[in-house]
Structure 1
Amino acid sequence: MQDFSTFPNRTGTRSVKWDKLEELYGSSNVQPLWVADMDLEIAEPIKQALLDRVNHGIFGYTFTDVALNNVVVDWVKRNHQLIIQPDDIVYSPGVLETIHMAILTQTDESDKILIQTPVYHPFQHMIKRHKRTLVTSPLINTDGYYTMDLGNLEEHFKNGVKMMILCSPHNPIGRVWTKEELNELLRLASQYNILILSDEIHADLVYKGHKHTPIGSLDSPSKQKIITLMSPTKSFNLAGLQISYAIIPDKKIRMQIKNAFVRFGMTMLNPLGITALETAYTKGDPWLNDLRQLLTKNKTLVERTLEPYDIVTVTKAEGTYLLWLDFNQLNMSHDELTKWMAQTVGLGLNSGITFGEDGHGFMRMNIASPYNYIKEALDKLTQALDQRKIER
């Protein structure tokens, strides 16, 4: 079993999470629990494969091939019951890069692109940068349980939305959409001819009692109008190696996106990323299973620790290693909450407002760290909440 108790020292490694604290929070003494990478060492087979590749000593031009495609085909079939063809796969450095290319090739300026807020913040920025029209469909929050507003979606679809970016499992709220929910979404998408970009980067990180369903695995007349975006980077803590893939069954769309990568000179992946993907998907299962157990333990710790406090609510996560915390009962402005969390509590979390206006009063917490590290953070938070009670 993987030992996740050791805490690696990441300072001085140009770590975005650790070496930008002064810049982001005004102090280097803040305990970071924000950006979505893990404070956990990668699986030993992946580490060894990378060491072997480094020891080879040459890092020349490297290509992907059918053998690598077959590794991906097997992974998505074995883990998600998604049946694809090797030729459906398009590799890229990251999911966001592929979304950029899809927006450029499948929409025109001023076309409407829809997202469901609160949601991963780069989506809105990409849409605006490409001069497309951002359309938001707020999720329905019923006592901390989020659902899609299908009526609102249909109204927007009727009014000319061309593309939708789906987050599944959802970041930051942690929902794992059910097959029934996705079928309803597909029914509407088919009726109104909507292209769906489905960001499924957290697909492998789902808690017991829930199951990730790739929207592309469902039977629908609009099946050819789905681009599924996946990667081993979240599952195996490989974000810095920049490796992802898109599953694009429609040949015309696939070639348009491939050609866009060529046009922008993005035609090659780094050899370490390729090595990491192949090893993760062929030898990483035991480590991933141990990781899921740790995340479950950490999630339970957060929920049980904060349950007695009526001024903070933990949204019940069904997937991802990100928890969505509701601090609205503190009656603080966005700036006040951000400042209080960093300067008074001493924790660096993601501000909820960055995920959309309906994230006001929320903060996102990354629990992909050793158990004792999460406990330390909770000790700081509960002490601050206790003090807040006294002041009230």
Structure 2
Amino acid sequence: MIYDFDAPFDRRGTHSYKWDHCDKIFGGKDLLPMWVADMDFPVAQEIQQAILERAAHPAFGYTAIPDTSYEAVSDWLSRRHSWTVSREWVLFCPGVVPSIALSINAFTLPGDKIIVQAPVYPPFFNVISDCGRQVVVNKLIYEDGRYRIDFDDLKNKIDRNTSMLLLCSPHNPVGRLWSSDELLELGRICIERNVIILSDEIHHDLAFPGLKHFPIASLSNALSENTVTLLAPSKTFNLAGLHTSITVISNELLRRRFYSVLNSLSLRSINIFGLAATETAYSSGDEWVDQMMNYVAGNFEFLNHYLSTKIPEVVAIRPESTYLVWLDCSGLSVDYSKIGEFMVKKARLALNDGASFGPGGENFQRMNIACPRVRLQEAFNRLEKAVSEIR
């Protein structure tokens, strides 16, 4: 089937957080929302049909997770990522961010230090602090338009109170697909120092065409036993509102500890429609994902050409994964603390301000490009006009 990602798609009037609450959150009017990391594409027709078929039966009571759902997950990970995952390693959960909190409470103690690699997904900071742990920043190195891990700093930041590293792989917002060598080195450092790796791999299916994501737990038995991996169909298939995620833990002791915390909060139940959507997505969603990422790659080439020819003050960091683009706005004649305000008031764009991603995010904005190209064209027309007025 050929999917049409150019088709007009209006989400207003659906209580969309991204669209219907945008003006209120940003304090502007007639803003173009390109912030929240969900897509402005309709879900695959196969997924919509699966939900409709489940909804046709008028009973929405407690539901057990069938073997077919576990098989769909393991088959997808094997087929797409060459990762063999046993059924008993898989736990269904209500979301990746809740699973981060569950993992922190299961595997660390109050007051422990947890390392993050900034600039990074803002909830990492909040969840760690809200769980009563300390955030330690291992800042990424930014050179020649590319980010890399500072391994020397990582080793220096780990002390006897450090119990976990919260890895973002692929990395949001900088778009890196960490290489197997980088992940093996990171894993070696953590294993030698008894630091558990909590790997948020929610963007794992969104590698750009021709590139490959490596699940860190798939690289060795030692890494598998020291890693808790968090996944979800939400970013891949635009299913965030169904609150369904997957946690993969091969280490039986860690799995029992995680399950104990999950059970203590009565979070074992699963969303009926999320379950139907997940099984269908992982069983028959390959072609939709491939076509969608080809389209997103085309969107990036469009915006990159637009910036280089018409708005050279803004530079896009070339992503290797995700549909999120990290924009270096340091060339604008605007103080870094005012860039977000400039985007809202002058360009009428709602983007994620880089400062919210922690150290290293200053001067940056994050843009979601999972949208029809005509909308991307409108966004950069607005930005070009705003920038021309301050040159």
Code of the residue aligned with 1:71 in structure 2: it is A
> In 2, distance between residues paired with 1:377 and 1:207?
22
What is residue 134 of structure 1 aligned with on the other side? 135
- Worse-superposed segment, 261-270 or 166-175: 261-270
2:356 is the counterpart of 1:332: no
1:167-194: CA deviation from partner (whole Å, max 9, x where unpaired): 0010000000011111111111111111
1:351-390: CA deviation from partner (whole Å, max 9, x where unpaired): 000000310110000000011111111111122222222x
Alignment of 1:289-368 (within 5 A): 289-308=290-309, 309-368=311-370
SS at match of 1:164: strand
Q: Is the 8 A contact 1:193 1:222 kept in 2?
A: no
What is residue 227 of structure 1 aligned with on the other side? 228
1:200-228: CA deviation from partner (whole Å, max 9, x where unpaired): 11111111242100000111534311011
2:162 is the counterpart of 1:154: no
> In 1, distance between residues paired with 2:159 and 2:28?
48
Code of the residue aligned with 1:66 in structure 2: it is D
SS at match of 2:321: coil
> In 2, distance between residues paired with 1:28 and 1:93?
34
> In 2, distance between residues paired with 1:58 and 1:66?
21
Q: Is the 8 A contact 1:176 1:212 kept in 2?
A: yes
SS at match of 2:115: strand
What is residue 89 of structure 1 aligned with on the other side? 90
TM normalised by structure 1 equals 0.97
1:75-121: CA deviation from partner (whole Å, max 9, x where unpaired): 00110011111000111111111111110111111101000000000
> In 1, distance between residues paired with 2:234 and 2:129?
26
Code of the residue aligned with 2:102 in structure 1: it is M
What is residue 35 of structure 1 aligned with on the other side? 36
SS at match of 1:162: strand
What is residue 105 of structure 2 aligned with on the other side? 104
SS at match of 1:46: helix
> In 2, distance between residues paired with 1:275 and 1:246?
18
Change (3 A) 1:387 1:159: farther
> In 2, distance between residues paired with 1:334 and 1:20?
25
How many angstroms does 1:272 deviate by?
0.1
Q: Is the 8 A contact 2:139 2:359 kept in 1?
A: no
Q: Is the 8 A contact 2:333 2:390 kept in 1?
A: no
Q: Is the 8 A contact 1:190 1:220 kept in 2?
A: no
SS at match of 2:389: helix
Code of the residue aligned with 2:135 in structure 1: it is L
What is residue 211 of structure 2 aligned with on the other side? 210
2:49 is the counterpart of 1:48: yes
> In 2, distance between residues paired with 1:303 and 1:179?
28
> In 2, distance between residues paired with 1:198 and 1:66?
25
- Worse-superposed segment, 205-214 or 35-44: 205-214
> In 1, distance between residues paired with 2:28 and 2:222?
53
SS at match of 1:211: coil
What is residue 118 of structure 1 aligned with on the other side? 119
Q: Is the 8 A contact 2:201 2:229 kept in 1?
A: yes
Q: Is the 8 A contact 2:209 2:293 kept in 1?
A: no
SS at match of 2:250: coil
> In 1, distance between residues paired with 2:387 and 2:314?
9
Moved over 4 A (4+): none
SS at match of 2:177: coil
> In 2, distance between residues paired with 1:49 and 1:66?
17
How many angstroms does 1:33 deviate by?
0.1
> In 1, distance between residues paired with 2:119 and 2:337?
18
Q: Is the 8 A contact 2:92 2:268 kept in 1?
A: no
Pick one of 375, 378, 390 that aligns with 1:376: 378
Code of the residue aligned with 2:234 in structure 1: it is T
> In 2, distance between residues paired with 1:140 and 1:330?
22
SS at match of 1:206: coil
What is residue 268 of structure 2 aligned with on the other side? 267
What is residue 390 of structure 2 aligned with on the other side? 388
Code of the residue aligned with 1:138 in structure 2: it is K
Q: Is the 8 A contact 1:166 1:196 kept in 2?
A: yes
Q: Specify every segment of 5 or more residues in structure 2 that has no aligned partner in the other structure, as ranges.
A: none
> In 2, distance between residues paired with 1:222 and 1:215?
7
TM normalised by structure 2 equals 0.97
How many angstroms does 1:159 deviate by?
5.1
> In 1, distance between residues paired with 2:50 and 2:236?
17
Percent identity over paired residues: 37
Number of aligned residues: 389
Code of the residue aligned with 1:244 in structure 2: it is S
How many angstroms does 1:262 deviate by?
1.5
SS at match of 2:147: strand
- Worse-superposed segment, 362-371 or 336-345: 336-345
Q: Is the 8 A contact 1:353 1:360 kept in 2?
A: yes
1:23-55: CA deviation from partner (whole Å, max 9, x where unpaired): 212124000000000110000111111111111
Q: CA RMSD in A?
A: 1.2
